[in-house]
């Protein structure tokens, strides 16, 4: 987990701010902490309009978390094609989707039992 003293919820909130800085939209936080057999406590899901924006959002999250919490993801996937970039911070896994891919994979539907918090778009 993290070496710093911050909670998974705080990390999720910082990730949201990193997404918002790069104009990511349709942000949802899924609280998985009350569910059995989950791989993390939170999913943060968002989307970008293009592969360029998806990469920018992912990089923005990494930069924002590094700056504010002095942490970095344990693992990242998907930066090559930028249709779905995953950033694994152990307790919080972030999914940055190209808008066309998000509905296809429907993570929110797969984890429908999780408490969902939608974040209002800033623009």
Report long-range pairs for 55-58 (Cβ below 8 Å, ≥24 apart): 55/79, 55/82, 55/85, 56/22, 57/18, 57/19, 57/22, 57/23, 57/24, 57/85, 57/96, 58/82, 58/85, 58/87, 58/96
Give the mean pLDDT of 38-67.
97
The strand order across the sheet containing 84-88 reads 75-77, 84-88, 92-98, 42-48, 25-31, 115-119
Residue 1 confidence (pLDDT)? 46
Q: Copy the structure tokens of residue 10.
A: 């705080």
Domains of the chain, by residue range, sit at 8-113
Whole-angstrom distance, CA of residue 52 vs CA of residue 39: 29
Under CATH, what is the fold of the domain 8-113?
Beta Polymerase; domain 2 (3.30.460)
pLDDT in tens, 73-107: 999 999 999 999 999 999 999 999 999 999 999 99
Residue 80 confidence (pLDDT)? 95
pTM of full prediction above 0.85 = yes
Residue 93 confidence (pLDDT)? 98
Residue 123 confidence (pLDDT)? 74
Residue 122 confidence (pLDDT)? 87
């Amino acid at each position: 987990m993290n070496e710093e003293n911050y909670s998974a919820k705080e990390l999720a909130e910082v990730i949201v701010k990193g997404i918002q800085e790069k104009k990511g939209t349709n942000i949802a936080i899924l609280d998985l902490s009350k569910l059995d057999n989950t791989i993390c406590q939170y999913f943060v899901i968002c989307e970008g309009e293009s592969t360029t924006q998806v990469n920018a959002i992912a990089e923005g999250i990494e930069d924002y978390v590094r700056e504010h919490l002095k942490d970095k993801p344990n693992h990242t996937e998907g930066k090559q094609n930028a249709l779905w970039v995953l950033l694994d911070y152990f307790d919080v896994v972030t999914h940055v989707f190209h808008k066309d891919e998000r509905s296809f994979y429907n993570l929110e539907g797969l984890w429908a039992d999780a408490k969902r918090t939608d974040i209002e778009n800033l623009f």
